[in-house]
Amino acid sequence: MQTFMQKVADGSAHISVIGLGYVGLPLAIGFAQAGYQVTGIDTDPHKVTGIQAGVSHVQDICSEELQQVVHSGHLRATQDFGVLAEVDSVSICVPTPLSKSKDPDISYIVSVTDEIRERLHPGQLIVLESTTYPGTTDEVVLPRLASTGLQVGRDFCLAFSPERIDPGNTVFRLANTPKILGGVTPQCTQVATHLYQQIIASVVPVSSSRAAEMVKLLENTFRAVNIGLVNEVALMCARLGLNVWEVIDAAATKPFGFMPFYPGPGLGGHCIPLDPHYLAWKLKTLDYRARFIELADDINTNMPHWVVTRVADVLNNVHKSVKGSKILVLGVAYKADTNDLRESPALDVLRLLQAKGSEVCFHDPFITEADVPGFHSTELSERMLNWADCVVITTNHSTYNYDWIVAQARLIVDTRNATRHVKEGREKIHTL
């Protein structure tokens, strides 16, 4: 692997990234901007064509940034896995969804690993970045690669380095977010660390790939469990006649021993709603029940139902039934100021309201009707706000003028405390 280390040092290493989504594309651009020759591989022809044309499909990557590395020749995209026979390193950034039974689906990892195995050659580094359960790198990826007869740590290196991309975060990007990395052998850790240090300010080595896999699951389980706790506190406060946001803000003044989390209509995104299930599934195979994870999931999964209950109660107070009422949902992305719909709880709120017989439409400045089939997207206008019997804020986009929205709306159910600074018309606003 000394030849690989030298290639990384002198900038001649050929880097490949498999999966050019919100994780893989920033990584590929990062290596390209550092001067390496980078080949991105994706099975989606539309992504490949767009990248080759310098058009970004990832919100956090501007097309101008992509065009610079494409036009300079440092980055190209392809659907052809044959290029793996030529590259020095491969970073795997493919999806790891859950099945309907909430079991891990690592079929994309297995498929890509088989493609790599056919072209694995001495001096190559393989790094898995896709979130998965502890043991995947050692138990699934390694045996397939080792079946070539090449020896890990000597002929090739294998490591796990969990992605930490936070969509919409303009402060912490790839380069300044510390990168966890664990190799299958100490040599693997050293080699992978050397590569990633070229584009990331702080690489944090851990003792093994299993430890690195567990780090990622701890990070997101921590958030899921704490969000589940604060969502339950919101339910408690509703029954006690208290404002949960006031309670959290007051508790957050404590300078030690308290970290504020905030309630909402449920969990969204690819990581937090899904990753704890990877850990729970793995522990189930070891005859251990992850009770905190199960309880948090139960609370978080049922939050959209609570939102609909709040809407029904608010309408009932003005002698209206949720059935037949006109509902305008504001914001359907899972997170403010993004166009990311993955696992968005707002979609559940839309479906539940529709199932209750409401006439539902939505507005989101980042999302079109084509992105949410079956639901009508509308303009945000005085006419639409007057039309709605109730406006439900499910995503707190900063582009919304909440003073104007409150002034025009009849009733508001604000699941994100987005209207907290509005002074006029507060009698119309109802929170979780």
Look at phi and psi of residue 393 and say left if phi exceeds 0, alpha if psi is from -120 to 50, else beta.
beta
**Out of 93, 157, 271, 361, which one is annotated catalytic?**
271
DSSP characters over 240-307: HT--HHHHHHHHTT-SSS-------S---SSSTTTHHHHHHHHHHHTT---HHHHHHHHHHHTHHHHH
In this structure, are strands 326-330 and 359-363 parallel, antiparallel, or unpaired?
Answer: parallel
Q: In 3D, which of 38, 56, 39 has the Cα closest to residue 47?
A: 56
| CA angle at 354 for the pair 349 and 359, rounded to the nearest 5° | 115
Cα–Cα dist 233/218, whole Å: 22
- The closest alpha carbon to 15, from 129, 96, 106, 108, belongs to 129
CB 209 within 8 A of CB 137: yes
What is the biggest distance separating any 2 CA atoms in the chain, rounded to whole angstroms?
76
Nearest partner of 102 among 263, 282, 268, judged by Cα: 282
Q: Which helix (H) or strand (E) holds 15?
A: strand 14-18
d(CA 247, CA 144): 53
Phi, psi of 283 (to 5 degrees): -70, -30
Residue corresponding to tokens 């522990």: 283
Look at residues 280, 151, 172, 155 and name the one whose alpha carbon lies nearest to residue 217: 280
For the chain, the straight-line distance linking the first and the last C-alpha, in angstroms and rounded, comes to: 57
Catalytic, 361? Answer no
Residues linked to residue 390 through DSSP beta bridges, in sequence order = 327
Residue 334 CA: distances (Å) to CA of 35, 226, 264, 271, 430: 35, 17, 10, 12, 21
Distance CA 343, CA 94 (A): 17
Q: Which residues are the active-site residues?
A: 271
